[in-house]
Amino acid sequence: MGAVLVGCSAGSGSGSAPPAPAAPKPGKPPAEKVRKAPTVAPGPGGLTPVFERAAKRAEKTVALTFDADMTAGQGPRAARDEHFDNPALIASLRRLRVPSTIFMTGRWADQYPDQAKALGGDPLFEIANHSYSHYAFTSSCYGLPVVDRSAMRADVDRAFAAFRKAGVRHVVPYFRFPGGCYDDEALRAIAPTKVTAVQWDVVSGDAFATDADAVAEQVLAGVRPGSLVVMHCTRSAAPVTEPAVRRIVPELRRRGYRLVKVSDLMR
């Protein structure tokens, strides 16, 4: 599994949000916190199945995925014009005709319902669940506040409810853990929601990055047939994603790759 980056910033669940943590350095999450289970078969012992990459795939396909992050406590920051959306990125994905999977938090859908509805109504995109709160589902996950075990299922369900409220269509039963952090208890807790947890094998490094070329080079160096790339759809914490995508997409196509949604990788 590739390195895991926290999606954007870790905000408080109530009151004013604390400052965002420093950008984590690329690296795997602690081994004891992550269960590697690259399968879409039913999880063992009632666990949620986990998908990371379409292994041993001969066809040159790659899925670019974008996390639309916003914690449950960041509403005041959005009200002060901190941008957790990225319309320029979405416009470029449309112009370049890039099928994409957007892992959206319920809080993001609440903040930007018109954009959420537009994304969910565009067949170019599919919308997946990134929790409601963007709080961690394990302890020690890059400084994110932690969801209580008893509330994990409700947090996932609440995100789906936020999508319905915003009128989002093309919702797929996939889930991305905030920060990519999970363990067996978390997989068991969300199993009743019937989602497949989706990780990645290529980390873009776009979170908190300032050099679009460096992000593009990291993606292009890591992609293999069947790869799943994690990127972000949040201007405030990933400001160079859009120019990076404008370089990544044409080069991948020049190399013979077909860009697909996560649902296509799982077929």
Q: What is the dihedral of CA 248, 250, 256, 260, to 10 degrees?
A: 70
- Enumerate residue ranges in the chain where pLDDT < 70: 1-44, 56-57
What pLDDT sits at residue 30?
Answer: 39
Task: Name the residue among 195, 145, 174, 161 with its Cα closest to residue 265.
Answer: 174
Contact call for residues 88 and 129 (beta carbons, < 8 A): no
Contact call for residues 36 and 183 (beta carbons, < 8 A): no
Assign residue 14 a region (left: φ > 0; alpha: ψ between -120 and 50; beta: otherwise).
beta
What pLDDT sits at residue 15?
Answer: 32
**Burial class of residue 40, CB neighbours in 10 A (0-12, 13-18, 19+):** middle
pTM: 0.86
What pLDDT sits at residue 40?
Answer: 53
H/E stretch holding 79: helix 75-79
Round to whole Å and give the CA distance between 267 and 259.
14
Round to whole Å and give the CA distance between 162 and 64.
24
**Burial class of residue 38, CB neighbours in 10 A (0-12, 13-18, 19+):** middle
For 135-156, the pLDDT digits (tens) are 999 998 999 999 999 999 999 9
The alpha carbon of 116 is separated from its chain's Cα centroid by a whole number of angstroms, namely 15
What pLDDT sits at residue 42?
Answer: 59
Identify any residues that bridge with 43 across adjacent strands, giving them in sequence order: none
What pLDDT sits at residue 4?
Answer: 34
- Cα maximum dimension of the chain: 50
Residue 182, token pair as written in the block = 């999970």
Round to whole Å and give the CA distance between 183 and 174.
17
What pLDDT sits at residue 73?
Answer: 86
What pLDDT sits at residue 79?
Answer: 85
- CATH of region 44-265: 3.20.20.370
Q: CA of 123: how far to CAs of 99, 251, 261, 265, in Å?
A: 8, 24, 11, 16
Residue 23, token pair as written in the block = 């950008």
Round to whole Å and give the CA distance between 91 and 114.
15
What pLDDT sits at residue 112?
Answer: 96
